[in-house]
């Protein structure tokens, strides 16, 4: 359980969060993303007071403000790469099928998957699946990207590629990036690295460099 946590992240900042399993890293990310509701305290993201939002309000916040990237990708295996991204666009309120098609195609090209549009997740490598997941995460042009162990299932070389991609997209989109990771090299890429443990957040840059 989290307690006595105080964290401020500047708009456009890249922050990594490390700590032992069970320390609450994923819980903290879920609170910031509006997936979980705090029992006390205050969470403000992009001017939104998350504790004051209803269920519908939180859903709208997630659709319009946040992009999520997960360790196990979270893709629908029955859909192609393009269809997975198009689904995210549908949920974000893009009703025009032609617009969804062009936007999904453009995003997958941006993450290096121009030749894998019609492949389903089981036909893709782990790195390719994570690239689809990242394309899906930025489909709604989010102000904040929350990535929970995005390289946890990848080898070191592929993890480095995914780290490059996240950093590139964050710079191009001008969004805030918060990454939970056990991967020391990925954590060290961030402008600020924090460690979570015993209910406290501490600066961890020196321990990771």
What value does the CA radius of gyration of the chain take, rounded to a whole number of Å? 17
Asked whether residue 198 is assigned to any structural domain, the reply reads: yes
Name the token pair of 91: 């949920």
pLDDT of residue 209: 36
Asked whether residue 109 is assigned to any structural domain, the reply reads: no
Backbone CA torsion sign across 74, 76, 77, 80: negative
How many domains, the chain?
1
pLDDT of residue 4: 74
Nearest residue to 25 via CA among 182, 209, 206, 151: 182
pLDDT of residue 199: 64
- Mean pLDDT in each 10-residue stretch from start to end of the chain (209 residues)? 79 91 85 85 85 86 90 91 95 92 95 96 95 93 92 88 92 92 90 82 54
Asked whether residue 85 is assigned to any structural domain, the reply reads: no
Asked whether residue 157 is assigned to any structural domain, the reply reads: yes
pTM of the model: 0.89
Asked whether residue 60 is assigned to any structural domain, the reply reads: yes
pLDDT of residue 149: 92
| 202 beta partners | 195
Q: What is the CATH number of the domain that holds 164?
A: 3.40.50.300
pLDDT of residue 206: 39
Name the token pair of 53: 């939002």
pLDDT of residue 204: 58
Asked whether residue 121 is assigned to any structural domain, the reply reads: no
Q: What are phi and psi of 70, to 5 degrees?
A: -115, 160
Asked whether residue 33 is assigned to any structural domain, the reply reads: yes
pLDDT of residue 201: 78
Asked whether residue 165 is assigned to any structural domain, the reply reads: yes
pLDDT of residue 105: 97
| 146 beta partners | 68, 178
Q: Which residue segment(s) compose the domain that 41 sits in?
A: 14-74+141-208
pLDDT of residue 137: 93
């Amino acid at each position: 359980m989290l307690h006595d946590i105080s964290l401020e992240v500047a708009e456009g900042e890249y922050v990594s969060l490390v700590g032992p399993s069970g320390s609450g890293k994923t819980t903290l990310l879920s609170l910031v993303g509006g997936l979980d509701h705090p029992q006390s305290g205050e969470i403000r993201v992009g001017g939104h007071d998350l504790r004051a939002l209803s269920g519908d309000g939180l859903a709208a916040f997630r659709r319009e403000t946040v992009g999520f990237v997960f360790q196990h990708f979270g893709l629908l295996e029955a859909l192609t790469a393009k269809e997975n991204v198009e689904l995210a666009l549908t949920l974000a309120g893009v009703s025009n099928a032609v617009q969804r098609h062009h936007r999904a195609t453009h995003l997958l090209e941006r993450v290096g998957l121009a030749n894998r549009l019609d492949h389903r997740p089981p036909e893709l490598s782990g790195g390719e699946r994570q690239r689809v997941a990242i394309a899906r995460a930025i489909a709604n042009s989010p102000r904040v990207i929350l990535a929970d162990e995005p390289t946890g299932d990848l080898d070191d070389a592929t993890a480095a590629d995914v780290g490059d991609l996240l950093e590139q997209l964050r710079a191009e989109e001008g969004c805030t990036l918060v990454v939970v990771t056990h991967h020391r090299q990925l954590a060290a890429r961030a402008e600020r690295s924090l460690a979570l443990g015993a209910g406290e957040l501490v600066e961890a840059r020196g321990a990771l460099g």
